[in-house]
């Protein structure tokens, strides 16, 4: 880079010479302007070979990507299993995608080569070598980096911030769209390439050399330059298509002295590889967050198609913007948002005006977003009024999914998936959602099918969803022996399965590997126990699980987590025989949990209110276990509860539950519970409010105490009557929860008792004033909306 300075721009150093032996063409990934100008450049240069930045171990997949049956977006999926521990002592698995859209310059380079009957090759280091040569937490080893294409050097850093400030533009993307995407279409190939070289060289100047070494940029460039030199020995005219950031580095090497080949590390064959994979616009858009390509890929793909179809950039952006505006208005209408034709017209005029004000030949995405913001959002811009913008962004991103035409390269995990679908006679080639019913214990095959479905769900493929059957995670309906599954194989299932290839080549192997990873990462016992439930459902066994679970249990300082874990294992123990599951580990862990909780119950009595519910469930569960599994520990639990009740600081709800359980042990303890409640009633208003929490705990643990005599009903009545309406509203949730566990008969019995206090007859409570129909409908609608909101939040 020494040769490139501010006085001597990169465009002057890196030539655009159509007669030279090689021509460096700089790109930004998924940029339609780069792709359009690349085609024009290639037509002018007429290369004998095209060399493209990309791991060279995927060269055999180039014909698959350019096959007529392949529909974009598609990607190359690379994986590497670091069994030889070249990268870290942990021996992790790595994977990444190299996506291609219609507007990707790299894809267009391959397509041009095919059309012209010339070869095209990838020239970068193999994926494994890039990783091995990258320093920890840099480049492709940085965080969750799952994309090979990396534009971060071009799109982040001080350089672009200074540019945005200078040009008065909000973001880098807007800057890029204005100066490169829109204006770039109107330039000649030479002007465009020079502008790209200048921009990229200045961005590179901003990057320290040690950074370039740490993220493997330098060694990759050495390898690419070596490959270019080798190609120049065979071909006369070599077109090189790489990320613009690499061009200055490559040029310096190509015009310098001898280039040494990079010595590869020894990597076993089965530890690394690549497959073609269907990809989606949504996934491509998400990659933008990692500076790997541009946002709103559908919009840019459509613009590129228009430019290519009309063989001119004039009007392409305007036409696409208008299309998107109309589509957005239509979608808004469908969602009953108040958008009128006049809004669309006003937005269109505004977009044109903004483009003129900003000196752009045609309005692009940012003018479109501005138009919709001004003309379609009525009132203050908030989350709820911004729906038109959300709709527009979704449209700009697109929801299309690609398809790989050549099936000869089916990835192993998909092959295993298809094999199992055939074995269980699942209609996996249909686009229509299917349903299958599984009677779990009728045949061995049925249990196998259930496990296969659970495995697919565990891998997060989105292939299937259980709509009926036991839910062992929540402990609901655990005795159900029939499951109903809904399933459909969408392109996303394939891409997610490919994503799991790093974890194994069969579904079982991938599940085992994923579960082991989760167990290894788990710090809380409840998380580990949840993984044990997953393994149970999937029918997989983890090596060394018992030791790991024991370690987590002993190191987990949160008793609530231990209690929750105990509940998971109790469910597994109860079902182990039915599911033909080895229960020895389960029982041993249950014993350890029981011991641990029994010894520390005193710590639970003064928990904060938000944890009280969980604590009460644990106490009830412990009581349930002494009735079944651990009845020899009965006296110890009773003594521990007595100690809890004697503590000086108590959470009222937990205290209530303790009193309830003590009553369950010994009926005479009822008087203790009554006097505790009286204590709350005779306190200040704040203490009285705590009485409702006490009742909640008490009735949750032992609701039959209500019916032993009328004392508690009377006390509850006294509590409610003594409160102002504001205080009553405050304690209402607790009071409701206190009676949640009551059966309808018990509620009726309670209501009768209340009616009697006020001199009402038994049946009078069955009648009340009719509720207004409209109000009832409003309440129902509100309930439905809230339920939907909660569902969304849960997801």
Partner 1 sequence: MQQFIKPPVEIRYKEELDMLRFADDGRKPENWVLSPKMVRTFILGGEVDTKDGKEKISRKFYGNDALVERAIITLAGSRGLMLVGEPGTAKTMLSELMCAAICGVSTNTVQGTAGTTEDMIKYSWNYALLLSKGPCREALVPSPLLVGMEKGIIARFEEITRTPAEIQDSLISVMSDQILNIPELGDEGLVLARPGFNIIGTANTRDKGVNEMSGALKRRFNFETVEPVKDVRLEKEIIVKEAQDLAAAGHIDAPIDTDVAELLAVTYHELREGMTAEGTVVAKPDAVMSTAEAVSVYYQTISHAWYYGSGRVSLDVLTQSLLGAVCKENKDDLEKLRSYFRVAVKEKSSREGGLWKEYLKTSPLLR
User: Under the rule (CB under 8 A), what is the footprint of partner 1?
Assistant: 168, 170, 338, 340, 342-343, 346, 349-350, 353-354, 356-358, 366, 370, 373-375, 377-381
- Answer whether 115's CB lies under 8 Å from 43's CB: no
Distance between CA atoms of 192 and 32, rounded to whole angstroms? 13
3-state secondary structure of 437: strand
Distance between CA atoms of 492 and 270, rounded to whole angstroms? 25
Task: Tell me which DSSP letter residue 179 carries.
Answer: I
- Nearer to partner 1 by Cβ, of 193 and 351: the residue is 351
Could you tell me the smallest distance in angstroms from the CB atom of residue 360 to partner 1?
12
- Nearer to partner 1 by Cβ, of 384 and 668: the residue is 384
Distance in angstroms between the alpha carbons of the first and the last residue of the chain: 50
- Nearer to partner 1 by Cβ, of 166 and 476: the residue is 166
Could you tell me the smallest distance in angstroms from the CB atom of residue 54 to partner 1?
37
Could you tell me the smallest distance in angstroms from the CB atom of residue 346 to partner 1?
5
- Nearer to partner 1 by Cβ, of 83 and 381: the residue is 381
691 closest CA partner among 678, 680, 702 = 680
Buried b (16+ CB within 10 A) or exposed e, 217-238: bbbbbbbbbbbbbebbeebebb
- Answer whether 152's CB lies under 8 Å from 200's CB: no
Cβ atoms < 10 Å from Cβ of 96? 24
- Nearer to partner 1 by Cβ, of 384 and 648: the residue is 384
Could you tell me the smallest distance in angstroms from the CB atom of residue 185 to partner 1?
23
Could you tell me the smallest distance in angstroms from the CB atom of residue 192 to partner 1?
27
Listed in sequence order, the residues at least 6 apart from 432 whose beta carbon sits closer than 8 Å to its beta carbon are 488
- Nearer to partner 1 by Cβ, of 232 and 387: the residue is 387
Could you tell me the smallest distance in angstroms from the CB atom of residue 362 to partner 1?
15
- Nearer to partner 1 by Cβ, of 376 and 658: the residue is 376
Could you tell me the smallest distance in angstroms from the CB atom of residue 730 to partner 1?
16
Distance between CA atoms of 743 and 294, rounded to whole angstroms? 58
Could you tell me the smallest distance in angstroms from the CB atom of residue 358 to partner 1?
7
- Nearer to partner 1 by Cβ, of 44 and 356: the residue is 356
Listed in sequence order, the residues at least 6 apart from 273 whose beta carbon sits closer than 8 Å to its beta carbon are 57, 78, 79
Could you tell me the smallest distance in angstroms from the CB atom of residue 627 to partner 1?
44
- Answer whether 321's CB lies under 8 Å from 363's CB: yes
Could you tell me the smallest distance in angstroms from the CB atom of residue 335 to partner 1?
16
- Nearer to partner 1 by Cβ, of 329 and 421: the residue is 329
- Answer whether 343's CB lies under 8 Å from 332's CB: no
- Nearer to partner 1 by Cβ, of 19 and 380: the residue is 380
Query: Is 557 buried (19+), middle (13-18) or exposed (0-12) by CB count in 10 A?
Result: exposed
42: tokens are 């290639």
Cβ atoms < 10 Å from Cβ of 110? 23
Listed in sequence order, the residues at least 6 apart from 305 whose beta carbon sits closer than 8 Å to its beta carbon are 102
Question: 641 to each of 14, 120, 625, 652, how far by Cα in Å?
Answer: 81, 76, 15, 14
């Amino acid at each position: 880079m020494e040769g490139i300075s501010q006085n001597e721009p990169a465009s002057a150093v890196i030539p655009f010479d159509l007669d030279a032996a090689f021509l460096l063409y700089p790109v930004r990934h998924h940029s339609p302007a780069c792709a359009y100008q690349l085609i024009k450049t290639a037509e002018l240069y007429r290369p004998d070979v095209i060399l493209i930045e990309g791991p060279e171990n995927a060269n055999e997949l180039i014909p698959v990507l350019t096959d007529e049956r392949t529909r974009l977006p598609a990607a190359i999926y690379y994986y590497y299993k670091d069994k030889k521990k070249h990268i870290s002592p942990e021996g992790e698995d790595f994977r990444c995608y190299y996506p291609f859209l219609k507007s990707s310059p790299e894809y267009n380079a391959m397509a041009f080569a095919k059309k012209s009957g010339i070869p095209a090759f990838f020239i970068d280091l193999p994926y494994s070598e890039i990783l091995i040569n990258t320093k920890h937490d840099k480049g492709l080893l940085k965080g969750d980096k799952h994309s090979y294409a990396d534009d971060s050097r071009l799109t982040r850093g001080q350089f672009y911030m200074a540019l945005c400030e200078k040009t008065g533009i909000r973001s880098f993307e807007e800057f890029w769209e204005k100066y490169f995407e829109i204006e770039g279409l109107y330039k000649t190939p030479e002007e465009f390439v020079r502008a790209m070289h200048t921009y990229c060289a200045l961005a590179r100047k901003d990057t320290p050399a040690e950074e370039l070494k740490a993220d493997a940029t330098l060694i990759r460039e050495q390898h690419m330059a070596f490959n270019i030199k080798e190609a120049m020995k065979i071909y006369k005219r070599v077109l090189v298509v790489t990320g613009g950031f690499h061009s200055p580095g490559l040029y310096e090497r190509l015009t310098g002295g001898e280039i040494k080949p990079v010595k590869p590390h020894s990597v076993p064959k089965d530890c690394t590889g690549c497959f073609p994979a269907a990809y989606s616009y949504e996934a491509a858009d998400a990659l933008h967050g990692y500076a790997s390509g541009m946002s709103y890929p559908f919009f840019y793909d459509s613009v590129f198609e228009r430019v290519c179809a009309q063989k001119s950039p004039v009007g392409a952006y305007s036409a696409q913007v208008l299309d998107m505006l109309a589509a957005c208005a239509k979608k808004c209408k469908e969602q009953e948002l108040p958008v009128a034709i006049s809004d669309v017209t006003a937005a269109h005029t505004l977009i044109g005006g903004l483009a003129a004000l900003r000196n752009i030949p045609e309005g692009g995405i940012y003018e479109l977003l501005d138009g919709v913001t001004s003309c379609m959002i009525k009132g203050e811009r908030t989350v709820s009024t911004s729906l038109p913008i959300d709709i527009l962004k979704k449209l700009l991103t697109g929801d299309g999914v690609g398809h790989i035409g050549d099936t000869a390269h089916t990835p192993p995990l998909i092959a295993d998936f298809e094999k199992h679908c055939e074995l269980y006679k699942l209609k996996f080639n249909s686009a229509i959602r299917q349903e299958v019913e599984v009677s779990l214990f009728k045949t061995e095959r049925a249990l196998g099918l259930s496990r296969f479905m659970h495995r697919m769900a565990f891998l997060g493929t989105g292939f299937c969803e259980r709509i009926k059957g036991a839910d062992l995670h929540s402990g609901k309906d655990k005795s159900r022996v029939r499951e109903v599954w809904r399933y459909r194989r969408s392109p996303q299932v394939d891409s997610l399965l490919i994503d799991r290839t790093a974890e194994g080549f069969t579904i079982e192997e991938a599940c085992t590997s994923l579960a082991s990873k989760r167990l290894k990462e788990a710090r809380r016992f409840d998380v580990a126990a949840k993984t044990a439930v997953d393994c149970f459902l999937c029918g997989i066994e983890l090596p060394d699980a018992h030791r790991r679970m024991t370690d987590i249990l002993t190191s987990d300082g949160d008793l609530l987590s231990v209690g929750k874990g105990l509940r998971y294992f109790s469910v597994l123990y109860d079902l182990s025989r039915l599911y033909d599951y080895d229960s020895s580990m389960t029982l041993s862990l249950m014993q350890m949990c029981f011991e641990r909780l029994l010894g520390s119950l005193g710590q639970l009595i003064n928990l904060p209110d938000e944890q009280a519910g969980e604590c009460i469930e644990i106490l009830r569960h412990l009581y349930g276990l002494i009735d079944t599994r651990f009845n020899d520990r009965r006296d110890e639990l009773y003594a521990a509860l007595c100690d809890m009740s004697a503590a000086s600081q108590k959470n009222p709800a937990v205290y209530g539950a303790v009193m309830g359980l003590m009553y369950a042990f010994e009926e005479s303890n009822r008087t203790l519970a009554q006097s505790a409640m009286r204590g709350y009633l005779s306190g200040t208003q704040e203490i009285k409010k705590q009485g409702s929490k006490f009742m909640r705990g008490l009735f949750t643990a032992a609701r039959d105490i209500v019916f032993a005599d009328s004392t508690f009903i009377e006390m509850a009545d006294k509590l409610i009557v003594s409160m102002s309406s504001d205080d009553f509203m405050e304690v209402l949730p607790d009071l409701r929860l206190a009676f949640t566990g009551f059966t309808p008969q018990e509620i009726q019995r309670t209501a009768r008792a209340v009616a009697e206090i006020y001199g009402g007859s038994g049946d009078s409570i069955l009648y009340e004033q009719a509720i207004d129909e409209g109000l009832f409908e409003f309440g129902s609608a509100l309930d439905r909306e809230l339920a939907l909101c909660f569902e969304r939040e849960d997801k």
